[in-house]
C-alpha cells in the first residue's frame, strides 16, 4: 500500500505538469499530428503524458466475453467498439495507447477529469482506514461531505440522503414527495429520462427506455422544447398543459412535478424560458412539491450556475443528483428541507451502501477540486466558446438543425431538412464514427438518436473545443 501511495504522489506531480499550456506530444504522436496537419486533417492538441503499457486482453477477447457472460441488453458505441484502458483528465487511451479527446465524460459523469489525483488520493486515504462499515456507526466522511454539499444548496435545502445512483436518488425523491403530500400523482415531462427502476421508469417518457411493466401514478405533460415543441420558445403556453392535467387528470391535488433543467438522454433539450416559473405556481397551488433532477446538469456543468434549476429562477423542494457528484464513483444524493426530510422517520429506511466512507470521501474531494480549479468558471468560458463555434458550424452545414445547451452540456441535432426537421439518424452514426477515427469521442441521444451529446470533463479547454469542432466539421464535409 505504501508503494501505491508513493506512486500516487508521483502521479499527482505529473498531473500538474500536464495542466501547463506548453504541452509537448509524444514523438509518434507529434509525427502523426504533423502529417495530419499537412493534409488538412484536424490533429489532437498536444498533451505531455504517456499512459502505462497495457498488457490485458484485446478488444476482440473482451467483446467475446461480453457476448457470452453479460446481458445482451448491453450495447456499444461504434461499428468497431473501443477498448478504453486508461484515462487522464480530458483524454482517454485505448489498448494500443492511442489517445482520444473525451467529449462525453462517461455520460456527463467525469466532472474533474479522469483519474484526477486529488480525488484518487482521497479514495486511497479513506480505503486505507476503512472501506465500509455501516451508517449505523459514526464516520466523519459522510458527515463532512453532507455539510459541504449543503453549503452549495440555496435556501433551506440542507438535509442529505446518499444513494448509489441517479435512479435511486429519483426513486427516493418521488417517494418522499408522495409521503409528504399524501398524494400519488406526479407530473413529468415528455421526452424526460429519470431512471430505469419501477417509479423512475414511469416518470421517464420515451418508449425506447420503457418496458411493458406496471407503471402508475405519473402524468406526462407537453415538453417545452424550443426546437421541436408546438409553441417554440413560449414557455407560458407549455405551462398551461400542466394546469390542464391537474384539472382533468387528477383529483386536483398532486404529489409533485419532476424535471431536468436540461434533458440529457432526451437530447440536451433546455426548457423554454419562463416555463418553470409558470409551472411552479401551478404545482404549489395543487399542493405538490417541485423536484429538480440534477443528475446530468448539476455540479457546475452549466457554467452560469452550480445547479441547472438556478438558471430558471425557482427554488425546488427536493433536488436529486448523481453522476458528476463522484467523478465516476457510484454515488447519488437527495437533498431537501428538514421538514420534508422528516417523513422518512415514519418507518425504517436504509441504504446499505449509500453514503459509504469511500464514496463520500470521493464526493467531498470533487467539491474541493471544482472550487480550487474554478471549474464552474471554466465550464462557462469554454462552454460559451464551444457553443459559438458549433453555431458557426451550423451556418456551414445544412445537416445541423439546432445547437443548444449551456456550459459544457451541449447538443447538436442533425436533420436532413430544416423545415421538416427529419432526423438524420444514420448520418449521426456516420459522423460519430468518423470523429472517433480522428480522435474525438462524443455521445448521442434524443428520441431519434440524432443528437450529439457533448458533456466533457469540466477541465476541457479552448484547444480541445477547437479540435472537437474541427473534427466534426471535417467529418460532416465527408458525408
Residue-level length of the chain: 479
What's the mean per-residue pLDDT of the chain? 93
**Rounded-to-integer distance, Cα 474 and Cα 209, Å:** 32
Per residue in 355-395, pLDDT (tens digit) is: 999 999 999 999 999 999 999 999 999 999 999 999 999 99
Q: Is 423 helix (H, G, I), strand (E, B) or coil?
A: strand
| Residues 302-305: contacts with CB under 8 Å, at least 24 apart | 302/261, 302/262, 302/379, 302/383, 302/406, 302/407, 302/409, 303/376, 303/377, 303/378, 303/379, 303/380, 303/381, 303/383, 303/384, 303/406, 303/407, 303/408, 304/380, 304/406, 304/407
Read off the pLDDT of each residue in 132-147 and give the average, rounded to a whole number. Answer: 95
% of the chain exceeding 70 in pLDDT: 92
The yes-or-no verdict on residue 432 having pLDDT over 80 is: yes
Sheet holding 451-454, edge to edge: 400-406, 409-414, 451-454, 443-445
Residue range 74-89: average pLDDT? 96
Per-residue confidence (pLDDT) for residue 26, from 0 to 100: 40
Q: Which three cell numbers stand for residue 437?
A: 477515427
Q: What was the pLDDT predicted at 40?
A: 85
Sketch out the chain's domains with CATH numbers: 59-111+375-477 (3.90.1150.10), 117-373 (3.40.640.10)
pLDDT (0 to 100) of residue 127 = 97
Residue 22 has pLDDT above 80, yes or no: no
Query: pLDDT tens digits for 95-105?
Result: 999 999 999 99
Per cent of the chain over pLDDT 90 is: 91
- Cell 484502458 appears where? 85
The closest of 323, 18, 336 to 176, measured between CA atoms, is 336
The residues, ordered by sequence, that sit 6+ positions from 260 with a Cβ below 8 Å of its Cβ are 189, 192, 193, 194, 266, 293, 294, 295, 296, 297, 308
Q: Which residues, at least 6 apart from 259, have a Cβ–Cβ distance to it below 8 Å?
A: 188, 189, 192, 271, 276, 279, 290, 291, 292, 293
Residue 206 has pLDDT above 80, yes or no: yes
Partnered with residue 412 across adjacent β-strands are 403, 452
End-to-end CA distance of the chain: give it in Å, rounded.
52
Closest Cα partner for 49 from 96, 11, 8, 94? 11
Distance CA 108, CA 154 (A): 23
- Residue 23: pLDDT above 50? no
pLDDT band at 50 (very low <50, low <70, confident <90, very high): very high
C-alpha cell at 299: 455540479
Amino acid at each position: 500500500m505504501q508503494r501505491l501511495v508513493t506512486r500516487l504522489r508521483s502521479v499527482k506531480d505529473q498531473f500538474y505538469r500536464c495542466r501547463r499550456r506548453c504541452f509537448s506530444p509524444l514523438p509518434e504522436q507529434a509525427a502523426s499530428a504533423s502529417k495530419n496537419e499537412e493534409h488538412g486533417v484536424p490533429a489532437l492538441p498536444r498533451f505531455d503524458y504517456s499512459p502505462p503499457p497495457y498488457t490485458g486482453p484485446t478488444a476482440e477477447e473482451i467483446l467475446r466475453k461480453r457476448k457470452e457472460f453479460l446481458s445482451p441488453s448491453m450495447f456499444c458505441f461504434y461499428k468497431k467498439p473501443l477498448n478504453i484502458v486508461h484515462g487522464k483528465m480530458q483524454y482517454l487511451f485505448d489498448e494500443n495507447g492511442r489517445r482520444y479527446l473525451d467529449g462525453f465524460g462517461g455520460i456527463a459523469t467525469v466532472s474533474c477529469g479522469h483519474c484526477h489525483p486529488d480525488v484518487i488520493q482521497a479514495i486511497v486515504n479513506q480505503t486505507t482506514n476503512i472501506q465500509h462499515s455501516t451508517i449505523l456507526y459514526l464516520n466523519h466522511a459522510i458527515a463532512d461531505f453532507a455539510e459541504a454539499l449543503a453549503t452549495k444548496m440555496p435556501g433551506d435545502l440542507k438535509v442529505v440522503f446518499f444513494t448509489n445512483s441517479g435512479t435511486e436518488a429519483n426513486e427516493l425523491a418521488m417517494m418522499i414527495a408522495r409521503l409528504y403530500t399524501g398524494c400519488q400523482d406526479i407530473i413529468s415531462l415528455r421526452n424526460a429520462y429519470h431512471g430505469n427502476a419501477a417509479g423512475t421508469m414511469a416518470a421517464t417518457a420515451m418508449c425506447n427506455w420503457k418496458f411493458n411493466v406496471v407503471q402508475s401514478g405519473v402524468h406526462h405533460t407537453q415538453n417545452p422544447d424550443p426546437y421541436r415543441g408546438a409553441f417554440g420558445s413560449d414557455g407560458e403556453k407549455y405551462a398551461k398543459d400542466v394546469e390542464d392535467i391537474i384539472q382533468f387528470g387528477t383529483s386536483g391535488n398532486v404529489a409533485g412535478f419532476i424535471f431536468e433543467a436540461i434533458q440529457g438522454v432526451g437530447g440536451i433539450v433546455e426548457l423554454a424560458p419562463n416555463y418553470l416559473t409558470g409551472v411552479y405556481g401551478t404545482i404549489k397551488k395543487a399542493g405538490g412539491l417541485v423536484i429538480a433532477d440534477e443528475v446530468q446538469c448539476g455540479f457546475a456543468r452549466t457554467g452560469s450556475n452550480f445547479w441547472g434549476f438556478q438558471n430558471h429562477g425557482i427554488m425546488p423542494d427536493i433536488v436529486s443528483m448523481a453522476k458528476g457528484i463522484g467523478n465516476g464513483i457510484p454515488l447519488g444524493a437527495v437533498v431537501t428541507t428538514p421538514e420534508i426530510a422528516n417523513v422518512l422517520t415514519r418507518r425504517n429506511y436504509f441504504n446499505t451502501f449509500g453514503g459509504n466512507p469511500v464514496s463520500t470521501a470521493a464526493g467531498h474531494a470533487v467539491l474541493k477540486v471544482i472550487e480550487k480549479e474554478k471549474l464552474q468558471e471554466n465550464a462557462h468560458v469554454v462552454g460559451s466558446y464551444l457553443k459559438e463555434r458549433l453555431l458557426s458550424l451550423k451556418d456551414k452545414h445544412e445537416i445541423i438543425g439546432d445547437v443548444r445547451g449551456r456550459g459544457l452540456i451541449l447538443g447538436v441535432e442533425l436533420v436532413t431538412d430544416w423545415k421538416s426537421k427529419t432526423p438524420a439518424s444514420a448520418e449521426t452514426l456516420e459522423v460519430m464514427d468518423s470523429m472517433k477515427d480522428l480522435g474525438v469521442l462524443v455521445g448521442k441521444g434524443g428520441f431519434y438518436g440524432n443528437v450529439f451529446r457533448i458533456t466533457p470533463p469540466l477541465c476541457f479547454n479552448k484547444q480541445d473545443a477547437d479540435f472537437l469542432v474541427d473534427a466534426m466539421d471535417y467529418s460532416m464535409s465527408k458525408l
